[in-house]
């Protein structure tokens, strides 16, 4: 399959109001793509679009909550009607939920699955005719480090991201005869708002959750712009799988070597990293 050509094509990006989505929008604009951007936060979405329009790109925005299936279907129909040919679809939007399976309600669990998986499948299904109509089109889904490993306290998130991974891998085989490239992305510790914006399960101890969130956020060191460039280079080269950072590559390797026992190794490594971070913080604090 030949290299992907960004120039002059229409790219759809979900979750484009910040983080990796906004960085992808800027990277695509620099490469000459016209943009269709989706997000539930209309104000931040328009701020990103304004920056891109000022740089001379054609940008359309749609404010939509992807947890709402009928609203997602309506937006997808609008996009398909207005843009019968789409060169790139990036399913980037995602949400997180803190808590063990027995600490969250099923509605809370389902909210994560609705946004992280159902919306991905729904938008892809609705826009697939437009991708097939554009020679050399490409599809990207953003899975996660937690689509490679499944730690405790992340049952909903991991379930949704493993589902995205399986969905994407099967689609890669199905769409290859149509000349459509398919990439599944597994970001490691990218510095986005997903941890800060995560919902807390109804049965979760808030103090413990906040402590865990602070420790987790210290591991988010990769700039979203760096992550976006890695993704777009992977798309250009038609890579089927893109892992971002050692925080994704090392767990992936451990999961391959020790499919069951890797959890203990990662837990020990995480505790060691937390101790190092706390020691560094104390060293920087004046006496």
Among all residues, which ones are annotated catalytic?
A: 157
180 phi-psi bin (left φ>0, alpha ψ -120 to 50, beta other): beta
Report how far residue 151's alpha carbon sits from residue 95's, in angstroms, rounded to the nearest whole number. Answer: 16
Contacts of 169 (CB under 8 A, 6+ apart): 184
To the nearest 10°, report the CA torsion of 99, 94, 240, 60: 180
Report how far residue 12's alpha carbon sits from residue 238's, in angstroms, rounded to the nearest whole number. Answer: 17
């Amino acid at each position: 399959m030949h290299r992907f050509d960004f120039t002059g094509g229409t790219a759809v990006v979900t979750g484009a109001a910040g983080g990796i989505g906004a960085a992808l929008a800027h990277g695509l604009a620099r490469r000459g793509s016209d943009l269709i951007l989706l997000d539930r936060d209309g104000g931040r979405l328009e701020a990103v679009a304004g920056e891109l329009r000022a740089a001379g790109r054609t940008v359309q925005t749609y404010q939509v909550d992807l947890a709402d299936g009928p609203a997602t279907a309506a937006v997808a129909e609008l996009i398909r009607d207005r843009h019968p040919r789409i060169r790139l679809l990036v399913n980037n939007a995602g949400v997180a939920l803190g808590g063990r399976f027995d600490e969250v309600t099923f509605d809370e669990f389902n909210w994560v699955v609705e946004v992280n998986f159902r919306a991905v499948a729904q938008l892809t299904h609705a826009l697939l005719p437009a991708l097939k109509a554009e020679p050399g089109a490409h599809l990207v889904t953003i899975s996660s480090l937690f689509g490679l490993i499944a730690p405790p306290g992340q049952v909903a998130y991991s379930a949704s991201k493993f589902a995205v991974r399986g969905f994407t891998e099967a689609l890669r085989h199905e769409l290859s005869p149509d000349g459509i490239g398919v990439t599944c992305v597994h970001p490691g510790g990218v510095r986005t708002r997903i941890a800060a914006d995560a919902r807390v399960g109804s049965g979760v101890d808030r103090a413990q959750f906040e402590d865990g969130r602070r420790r987790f956020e210290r591991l988010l060191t990769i700039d979203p712009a760096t992550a976006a460039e890695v993704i777009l280079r992977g798309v250009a080269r038609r890579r089927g799988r893109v892992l971002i950072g050692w925080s994704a590559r090392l767990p992936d390797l451990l999961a391959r070597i020790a499919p069951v026992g890797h959890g203990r190794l990662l837990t020990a490594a995480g505790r060691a990293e937390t101790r190092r971070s706390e020691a560094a913080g104390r060293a920087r604090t004046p006496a």
